[in-house]
Each structure stands twice: as structure tokens, then as C-alpha cells.
Structure 1
Amino acid sequence: MSLKSIELQIAIPKTFDAGKLTEQKNQQTMLNHQQAAAQTDQQVMKNRNTVIESAESEKTKNARNSSNEEKSEDNEQQEDSQQKEHIHVSHPYKGGFVDYTG
């Protein structure tokens, strides 16, 4: 197949354009991979920081809970003693028994 000079005038610039487009696509693909890798690295660092922060907050929460448990035990003991006192005290105007005889 032989090409005429007029056909070459159209074919040669088209090959340059096709080469440029192919190179741009390759570069775009590489950029996409780099951006995806950078985003993955950022997500990994964010997850690590989240885990570290949650571990620290868990430590402080455990410390608070232990101090709250001590306080709650003291409160329970006080409530128990108040209930015992309440049981032994009779009401000032209610009777001590119900009369069912009619």
C-alpha cells in the first residue's frame, strides 16, 4: 500500500497528536496512582491517630470509672443506711394496721 503525498500531510500530524494523547493518558494514570497512594497514606495516619486517641481516652475513662465506682459504692452505702432508717420510723398520722371489720 503506497501513500500519496497528500495523505502523508494528514497522516503525520495525526500520529503526533495520537502520541501526545497516549503520553498524556499515561501521565494521568501515574498521577492518579500517586494521588491514591497519598490518600491511602493519609487515611492510615488518620486511623493510627484515632486509635491512639481512643486508647488515651479509654485510659482516662477507666480512671474516671474507677473513681466513680468508689463514689457510687459510698453512695450506695449511704442510701442503704437511709432506707434502714426510713423503715424503722413510723409515719406520724398513718395507722399501723388496716381494719377490715365493717
Structure 2
Amino acid sequence: MSLKALELQVAIPKTFDAGKLADDHQQNVTQQQVNAHEALKKEIKKKQLQVSDTEKTDKISNNKEQQHNHEENFSEEKKQLKEEKEAEHAKHPFKGNFIDFSG
């Protein structure tokens, strides 16, 4: 396919314009990606520094009271189990059941 001189006079400047438009578009896309990355970094940093959610103080105190009560119940159960083990350990099948006074 051959181009005539008149066609080249029109085609060559349009090629440069098309190249400029393509380059501008590429730079625009790159700049948008950079801006999106910067915004994402700012958002991540903001989320890291900000407190996400706070509990009401009533709920916190109730939770602490429940935890304290649970710990008390657990320690009482532990003491009872320890006493039961000591009581079982103290019982012997024949020691301490018969006292010999004849001796």
C-alpha cells in the first residue's frame, strides 16, 4: 500500500497527535495509580492510629465483675477438690482404724 505525498502531509501530524494523546493517557493512568496508592497509605495509617471502637464503661465494669466472680467460683472449686483429695489421701484401709492397747 503506497501513500501519496498529500496523504503523508495529513497522516504524519496526526500520528504525532495520536502519540501525544497516548502518552498523556498513559501518564494520567500512572498518576491516578500513584494518587490511589497515596490515599490508601493515608487511610491505613489513619486506621492504625485511631481507636476503632470503645465499650461503654458499664459493660466493662460488668465484665470485670463477672470475671472476678468466675475466678472466685473457680478458686472455691479448686479448694474443694484439693480438700477432697486430701481427705481421700488420709483414708487408709487399715492404718488408723485399730488401736492396740495391749502392748
Moved over 6 A (4+): none
Structure number with the higher helix fraction is 1
1:56–1:26 CA distance, 2 compared to 1 (3 A): same
Pairing 1:18–2:7 present: no
Unaligned runs of 5+ in 1: 1-8, 61-66
Instruction: State the match for 2:74 in structure 1.
Output: 79
Instruction: State the match for 1:31 in structure 2.
Output: 25
> TM-score under structure 2 normalisation?
0.53
Pairing 1:40–2:29 present: no
Find the residue that maps to 2:50 and give its secondary structure.
helix
Instruction: State the match for 1:89 in structure 2.
Output: 84
Unaligned runs of 5+ in 2: 55-59, 95-103
Find the residue that maps to 1:89 and give its secondary structure.
helix
Structure 1 residue 39 displacement after superposition: 2.1
For the aligned residue pairs, the C-alpha RMSD in angstroms reads: 3.8
> TM-score under structure 1 normalisation?
0.54
